[in-house]
């Protein structure tokens, strides 16, 4: 019998949200224990800072330009490689994906894509290599259309809560403070999607026997907005008891001073002269966010994090009760982070900083594997390395289509020197293209020339108005450079510091030596998200 794999992901969770990574708000004892008894990667980076590209990189083990999902709104091609299919077909693994998938556009009222059609049909069978695939999104409904299998389950079993969740991407004020996308959700905790996914996972485990090797991807939609955990749980972390984190600029003057050092869309987002349509609600202006609103969002985010930790403990305990824990590898991570007040901003978008790119990543190898644990790996690793690691756990050769390497167990393993992240706009009027490298404690982002107004496919769906160039277009000379050892919050942009010209040139060469050697797949954007 080989090693089982419990792969746990969250959505939009910051690196510093966990106690093991310096978090001081949410109590995360289960995940902290995985870190202390496993391997904690303190410099793990994603390949893209939004959902669909990052999740497609996890499934395929490929950089975004290779699998083609360079932004939200591009469905992952059906012929794209899948680690689940590889484990199932080559390794004989039983496979299941329980929770959020988002390999295909989520706003799909015409049911164009299979990910959404499956839920409407009630189909929970084979899809993209998963023998069982049951999905949940951030809410139960989009308008009156049920979202995913979870939305259908809520509508059937608890119809009074079909519209209990916050409205996604509407910036509608709610909660105690009128914060955007915030709601005191009246749903019972056991019916909320976090516990629902944990219960699904336990049920799935009970369908396996001791001779089966299994790979379960347990994928929580939280702590992604809307910020609407069950109201019964909000007393865990009263927002009135919180203070702004050290990373927050504290005053408007400090915020503007910091943002003025960065390329123009940073300050434009803050003051509302530029809309962050690709990372949050189009009508949200961060400068209007009060301290009280941010504290309530922060509290609800960390309530979500605590519920995820509880759910992980519930599932891990069930694995142990079946006698399988000694033979089970557990990996915990997320797809991307959240600004959560850093730089005075909220949500995500074309902002290549640790808030969005740096991931919590923990690997607890199966005890029977006799792998050295209790380490913190500080060398950079990437999202695509997770996929290669799953092959290694299963005892399978890493196939040629995976572009990552098995995760190192300590910093003595060579070949882990850099991480690369890309951004390409989904709205053709924006036309932003960011290329980022982390290496040797430096974070450098190079802005390629904007292509605002050039078609990318979305105009075929939404009309030619999306081709209108946005107010901010870049020439290709702009960039960002941060010394993370001296400036961990990335408040000081050193890109225009002439004393750093040699370093900038070296980092640019290193970055494009990686990117220019990758296979490129060009695909149209087919939906807004």
Q: What would the pLDDT profile of 286-304 be if each residue is shown by its tens digit?
A: 999 999 999 999 999 999 9
3-state SS of 286-299 is HHHCCHHHHHHHHH
Q: How far is the C-alpha of 463 from the C-alpha of 381, rounded, in Å?
A: 40
Reduced to 3 states (helix: H, G, I; strand: E, B; else coil), residue 382 is strand
> pLDDT value at position 107?
81
| Per-residue model confidence (pLDDT) at position 164 | 98
State the greatest distance between any 2 C-alpha atoms of the chain, in Å, as a whole number.
64
Residues 26-56 pLDDT 10s? 999 999 999 999 999 999 999 999 999 999 9
Q: Whole-angstrom Cα distance, residue 431 to residue 213?
A: 45
End-to-end Cα distance, the chain = 41
- Per-residue confidence (pLDDT) for residue 108, from 0 to 100: 87
- What are the residues facing 359 on neighbouring strands? 44
Domains and CATH numbers, the chain: 4-515 (3.40.720.10)
Q: Compute the C-alpha angle 170/174/175, nearest 5°.
A: 140
Measured between alpha carbons, how far is 380 from 396 in angstroms, rounded to an integer? 24
196-229 pLDDT, tens per residue? 999 999 999 999 999 999 999 999 999 999 999 9
pLDDT at 328: 98
CA distance 130 to 108: 22
Tell me the C-alpha distance between 195 and 191, whole Å: 7
Q: Which residue shows structure tokens 């990552």?
A: 404
**Residues of the chain predicted below pLDDT 70:** 1
pLDDT of residue 238: 98
SS (H, E, C) 44-55: EECCCCCHHHHH
pLDDT in tens, 308-338: 999 999 999 999 999 999 999 999 999 999 9
pLDDT at 112: 95
């Amino acid at each position: 019998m080989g090693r089982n794999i419990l792969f746990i992901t969250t959505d939009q969770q910051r690196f510093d949200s966990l106690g093991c990574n310096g978090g001081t708000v949410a109590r995360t004892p289960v995940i902290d224990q995985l870190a202390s008894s496993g391997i904690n990667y303190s410099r793990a980076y994603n390949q893209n800072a939004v959902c669909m590209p990052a999740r497609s990189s996890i499934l395929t083990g490929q950089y975004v330009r290779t699998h083609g999902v360079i932004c939200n709104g591009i469905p992952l091609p059906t012929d794209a490689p899948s680690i689940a299919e590889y484990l199932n077909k080559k390794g004989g693994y039983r496979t299941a994906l329980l929770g959020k998938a988002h390999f295909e556009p989520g706003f799909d009222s015409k049911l164009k894509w299979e990910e959404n059609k499956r839920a409407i049909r009630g189909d929970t069978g084979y899809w993209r290599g998963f023998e069982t695939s049951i999905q949940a999104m951030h809410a139960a409904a989009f308008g009156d259309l049920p979202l995913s299998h979870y939305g259908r389950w809520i509508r059937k079993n608890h119809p009074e809560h079909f519209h209990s969740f916050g409205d996604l991407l509407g910036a509608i004020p709610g909660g105690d403070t009128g914060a955007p996308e915030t709601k005191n959700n009246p749903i019972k905790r056991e019916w909320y999607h976090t516990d629902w996914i944990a219960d699904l996972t336990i049920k799935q485990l009970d369908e396996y026997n001791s001779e089966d090797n299994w790979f379960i991807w347990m994928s929580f939609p939280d702590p992604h907005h809307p910020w609407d955990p069950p109201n019964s749980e909000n007393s865990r972390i009263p927002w009135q008891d919180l203070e702004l984190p050290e990373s927050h600029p504290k005053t408007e003057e400090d915020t503007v001073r910091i943002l003025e050092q960065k390329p123009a869309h940073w300050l434009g987002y803050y003051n509302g002269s530029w809309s962050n349509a690709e990372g949050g609600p189009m009508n949200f202006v961060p400068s209007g966010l009060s301290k009280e609103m941010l504290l309530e969002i922060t509290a609800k985010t960390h309530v979500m994090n605590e519920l995820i930790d509880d759910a992980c403990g519930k599932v891990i305990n069930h694995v142990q009760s079946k006698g399988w824990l000694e033979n089970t590898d557990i990996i915990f991570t997320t797809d991307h982070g959240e600004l959560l007040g850093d730089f005075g901003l909220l949500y995500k978008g074309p902002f290549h900083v640790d808030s969005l790119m740096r991931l919590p990543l923990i690997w607890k190898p199966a005890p029977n594997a006799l792998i050295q644990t209790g380490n913190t790996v500080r060398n950079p690793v990437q999202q695509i390395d997770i996929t290669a690691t799953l092959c290694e756990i299963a005892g399978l050769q890493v196939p040629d289509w995976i572009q990552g390497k098995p995760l190192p167990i300590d910093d003595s393993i060579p070949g882990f020197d850099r991480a690369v992240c890309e951004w390409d706009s989904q709205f053709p009027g924006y036309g932003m293209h960011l290329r980022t490298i982390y290496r040797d404690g430096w974070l450098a982002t190079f802005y390629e020339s904007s292509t605002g107004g050039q078609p990318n496919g979305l105009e075929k769906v939404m009309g030619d108005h999306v081709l209108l160039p946005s107010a901010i277009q870049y020439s290709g000379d702009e960039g960002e450079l941060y010394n993370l050892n001296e400036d961990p919050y990335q408040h000081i942009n050193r890109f225009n510091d002439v004393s750093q010209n040699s370093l900038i040139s070296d980092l640019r060469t290193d970055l494009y030596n990686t990117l220019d050697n990758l296979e490129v797949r060009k695909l149209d954007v087919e939906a807004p998200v």
